[in-house]
Structure 1
Amino acid sequence: MDGNRRYAKLRGYKAVWGHWKGATTWLNLIEWWSYFNSHKNDEVKYTTFWALSKENLQRSSEELAGLFAVLTVTFRSIAFTASIHRGQVRVRFIGALEGLPQHVCDAIKLLEKETEHYSRAVMLVAVGYGGRDEVLRAVRDVQDSGEVLNEESVSRKTFCSRLSISPVDLIIRTSESRTSGFMLWDTQSAELHFIQDKLWPELTAYDCLHAVESFASRERRGGK
């Protein structure tokens, strides 16, 4: 979810205003996703939103305070969003939550608790996430368990495997043409869809529908 700060700057506002706009876009896309699945027999069962990277935590204390407030309010809002419950979506968090304010952690626990009994669809929310950090954690877990360190053992320790989710099929990225380390291990065969002419707050349901349609039209051979 990239471009909130630039969106705000272009309009003469502080960064936190852009983050609020970005949160609104996220809530709108959750509504679209639920509606899409209800008409497509759960065609997109899993989705991940990268809400906060590990690098984002190095920003100024003023911006982080505002960003944490946005996350707290948004997580609490999602916990009681009708489309989440209507679509029976379970929300899981991935990343490193160490160092986050208590009010953010409490909102995370609330959202996971309110949806833990659902299984029709799964929405992952990446908070404090870094691709290299995930790989390092997986390697350390393999070493700590005494297993032989190889591709198979590391694959069992990534977030996707831990949550019994298949590797990523499609990455949608706004405003940039790079993945920024998103799920480094589980995106080896992922298709990429870049929307360079839009910042995250400008993204619409039509953009996502176009991305899914583009993905469906591609021939996927997995390197074979």
Structure 2
Amino acid sequence: MRAWLARRFDAAYERVLRHEISGAPSHVAVIQDGNRRYARKHGQDASDGHEAGAETTERVLQWCADIGVDELTLYAFSTENFDRPPEERDRLFDLLEEKLYAFADRDRIHDEGVRIRAIGETHRLPPRVRDAIDYAERRTRDYDQFTLNVAVAYGGRAELLGAARDVARAVDTGDLDPSDVDVDAVDARLHDDPVRDVDLIIRTGGDERTSNFLPWHANGNEAAVYFCTPYWPEFSRIDFLRAVRTYESREESWRRARAERALALLSALGGVELREARSVLDRFRDHAPDGVDVDDDTPTATSD
């Protein structure tokens, strides 16, 4: 009886959360933490935890499709993971190889136009994993409805360092003028194909840190971050919807802050600056503080 009530409650709460969400982040990045702790909790081997986590990954793909996410990046294997015990590391490689082939052959991937690509220092991976990556990328390279990035042998600091070295080499050889070093120049050297700015980072397992994950695309975009306690195999649709709600709250707060700054400019400036401030405010008209009329030349507080 208690389990039945819990299921009914979860179903009702999920409907409430879905009703509260009006949009979706374009790019969600996930740090899938807690597979090993989940296995220990259930008296299993680490490999069993990774297997259970892979099942959650498949569900999250569907949840993203359901609400209209365009890009999903999964932190599957960090550069630090090379330091794990050889038997666990080999099992992770087995799982990566197996899932990459399986995803590339899945009908839903092709029906929904999902492009799979790997990001990271893939040259450090065993040949069999590199072959699986190549297979998945070749089979899906022409799709553009949804992008699934698999971060393998990935480290954000190493990624930025590599881009900085490429920029320095281009300047040294005369292929790039120092005055032309800008965001686009760095972006072009991070990945072969563009990665969208990250809107939302989700980390499971209870740790509240982003672990060097996509620093250029997340920090530069001031991405929302959602930390939750369930281990990755336990991550539920309710947890996912809560994360998206956090993103929406963050976006609302950001827009209101922009509107309030524009109002301050309207009060303090005139001339060209005034017109520029009003153009900012017009874009965030729906988020102006209550009681403010943005149609006049200056903000006017209305009486109660």
- What's the TM-score, normalizing by structure 2? 0.66
Q: Which amino acid aligns with 2:57?
A: W
Higher relative contact order (CA 8 A, sep 6+): 1
Q: Aligned pair in 2 of structure 1 residues 82, 209: CA closer, same or farther (>3 Å)?
A: farther
- What's the CA shift for 1:76? 1.1
1:87 maps to 2:105:
no
- Shift of the alpha carbon at 1:155? 4.0
- CA contact 1:90–1:117 (8 Å) conserved in 2: yes
Preserved contact between residue 158 and residue 185 of structure 1 (Cα < 8 Å): no
Residue-by-residue CA offset, 1:40-85 (whole Å, 9 max, x unaligned): xxx3111101100000011111111111111111111111223222
Q: Report the secondary structure of 2:96's partner residue.
A: helix
Bigger helix share: 2
Tell me by how many angstroms 1:92 deviates: 1.3
* TM-superposed deviation, 1:154: 2.8
Say yes or no: does 1:14 pair with 2:45.
yes
CA apart distance, 1:184: 1.2
Partner of 1:167: 197
Q: Which stretch of the first structure deviates more once superposed, 213-222 or 115-124?
A: 213-222
2:136 is the counterpart of 1:111: yes
Unpaired runs of 5+ in structure 1?
Answer: 38-42
Q: Is the 2:224–2:246 Cα contact (8 Å) retained in structure 1?
A: no
1:194 aligns to 2:227 (yes or no): yes
Q: CA deviation at 1:209?
A: 2.1
> 1:181 aligns to what?
212
Partner of 1:139: 164
CA-atom RMSD in angstroms: 1.9
Q: Which runs of 5+ in 2 are unaligned?
A: 1-31, 259-304
Q: What do the CA deviations read for 1:110-165 (whole angstroms, capped 9, x no partner)?
A: 11111111011111110000010011011011012123285533344233xx4223
Percent of aligned positions with the same letter in both sequences? Answer: 39
Aligned residue for 1:217, secondary structure, equals helix
Q: What is the TM-score of this pair, normalised by structure 1?
A: 0.89
Give the equivalent residue in structure 2 for 1:216.
248
CA distance in 2, matches of 1:207, 1:163: 31
How many residues in Structure 1 have an aligned counterpart in Structure 2?
Answer: 215
Contact 1:25–1:200 (Cα < 8 Å) also in 2 = yes
- State which structure, 1 or 2, has the greater radius of gyration over its C-alpha atoms: 2
1:2 aligns with 2:33: yes
Change (3 A) 1:115 1:171: same
For residues 164-192 of structure 1, the C-alpha deviation after alignment (integer angstroms, 9 at most, x for no partner) is: 23311110110211100101122121111
- In structure 2, what residue type is equivalent to 1:106? D
1:78-112 deviations in whole A, cap 9, x for unaligned? 11223222221111110001231111111111111
Once residues 96 and 221 of structure 1 are traced to their aligned partners in structure 2, the CA distance between those partners, rounded to angstroms, is 37
Question: Which residue of 88, 91, 96 maps to 1:71?
Answer: 96
